Amino acid sequence: PAAAKPLPAYVAWKDPTAMIVHTSSTLETKRSAFGTSVITPAEQLYIRNNLPAPDASIIADRDAWEVQIEGVKNPRNFNLKQLKGMGLETTAMVLQCSGNGRGLFPTKASGTAWAVGAAGCVVWSGVPVRDVVAALGGVADGMVYMTGTGGEKIPEGLDPKSVMVERSVPLKAMGDALLAWEMNGAPIPLAHGGPLRLIVPGYAGVNNVKYIKRLAFTLAQTEAAIQKTGYRLSPPGQKGDPSHPAVWEMAAKSWINSPAPDAGVVPAGMSLIKGVAFGGMQALKAVEVSIDGGASWLAAKFVGPDLGRYAWRQFVLSVKLAPGNYTIASRAIDVLGNLQSEVSMENTGGYNNTSWRDHALKISVV
């Protein structure tokens, strides 16, 4: 195998032993590196950038960062210092790339072949978007979407629409959305969207716009390519098109991280099967584990605190394993009774893989 790539300079502070460096803009958490105390430390959290991150000068004076609010009754700009005085909420949330699990689909889709590690559970603090909107007289009449624009500089000579990170989500997503300045108890690192990030709990990673410079309530979805044709659930072989569903709400999902996610060899006897499970938009009700490839299921036990409907929960099941080959799998069940599916709909972009079968681990017990 090729030698592991070093950490890129802008994330040199990440834990090199926990990360798989796919490219300078795609870093994945190793399956074996997920801890068992719910929150993913910043040093181990995955990175996905569609454009190079802005210069570190934007975090030199965080409080001076400005965001433009449009599509409200009284549009205006706020700087971060002003936002900090307007409201406060803290939300634990699974941040998961739309393409997490892409590399596990039976058919190869183009894009980073993420396994399970383009996800983490992170605590965000910020002002609720609804508080900002209320202070500005409410959303302007008839608006249908909430559209966030990233603060990257657009490379010279390119059509901005072809590369800019601008995403629209349905207006109802405003309900739990934050303009966040803190992550896991510290100012948001530049690489994760500091000084200010739009957080849309329950929605796939791409909708959580980093270094947000404009938040607009709009009649239509943005014309930016990342929305118009990108991040669409397109039938295999078809190019992204606005008529295909956008990658927005996440669904129930879980996976096993232990034992032996890499080597696959486990000593006979008692074994602890550990993993993470979340409901996407809904709180989680239960998680089940199978050691026979899905023929039968056992209830796993949750470990650690319940940090709310958008967070994940760690689970554990103690099993006695005799020598042999096993396929171990897990499936999440949300409070509405939605069961994590056995198979996920394949799509051109390789998005939203929640298939428990694709996430199963094959182990040999010796």
Question: Which residues contact ligand MSS by CB under 6 A?
Answer: 45-51, 95, 97-99, 150, 152, 165, 192-193, 204-206, 208-211
| Measured CA angle at 232 (ends 229, 236), to 5 deg | 105
With respect to ligand MSS, which residue has the nearer C-beta, 31 or 48?
Answer: 48
Residue 12 in contact with residue 63, Cβ under 8 Å? no
**Would you say 193 or 259 has its CB closer to ligand MSS?**
193
Q: Closest by alpha carbon to 189, among 6, 336, 44?
A: 44
Residue 309 DSSP symbol? T
226 SS3 class: helix
Beta bridge partners of 186: 183
Sheet with 76-79, strands from edge to edge, namely 76-79, 66-70, 212-218, 145-150, 166-170
Q: Closest approach of Cβ 279 to ligand MSS, in Å? A: 18
Q: Which is nearer to ligand MSS, 193 or 350 (CB)?
A: 193
Residues 6+ apart with CB under 8 A from 354: 101, 251, 252, 253, 340, 341, 344
Beta-sheet pairing, 265-266 with 361-365? parallel
Task: Using the minimum distance from each CB to ligand MSS, give the nearer residue, 204 or 360.
Answer: 204
Q: How far is the CB of 74 from ligand MSS (least distance, A)?
A: 26
Q: What is the CA radius of gyration of the chain?
A: 21
**What DSSP line would sit under 89-158, residue for residue?**
EEEEEEEE-TTTTGGGSSS--SS----S-SEEEEEEEEEEHHHHHHHTTSBPTT--EEEEEE-PPPPTTS
Nearer to ligand MSS, 24 or 327 (CB): 24
Q: Classify each residue of 247-273 as buried b or exposed e, where b means 16 or more C-beta atoms within 10 Å of its C-beta.
A: bbbbbbbbbbbbbbbeeeebeeeebeb
Q: State in angstroms the smallest separation of the CB of 317 from ligand MSS.
A: 29
Shortest Å, Cβ 231 to ligand MSS = 7
The amino acid that residue 170 corresponds to is P
DSSP code at position 339: B
Residue 95 CB, shortest distance to ligand MSS, in Å, is 6
Nearest alpha carbon to residue 24 among 12, 33, 42: 12
* Residue 253 beta carbon to ligand MSS: minimum distance, rounded to whole angstroms: 14
Name the residue number minimizing CB distance to ligand MSS: 150
Minimum distance from residue 108 beta carbon to ligand MSS (Å):
18
Cβ–Cβ < 8 Å for 151, 66:
no
CB of 41 or CB of 294, closer to ligand MSS: 41
* CB closer to ligand MSS, 134 vs 345: 345
CB of 49 to ligand MSS, least distance (A): 4
**What distance, in Å, lies between the first and last C-alpha atoms of the chain?**
26
Q: Which is nearer to ligand MSS, 83 or 97 (CB)?
A: 97
**CB nearer to ligand MSS: pick between 59 and 339:** 59
51 vs 171, beta carbon nearer ligand MSS: 51
Q: Which two tokens stand for residue 82?
A: 């002003």
As measured in angstroms, the least distance from the Cβ of 198 to ligand MSS is 8
Measured from the CB of residue 183, what is the shortest distance to ligand MSS in angstroms? 8
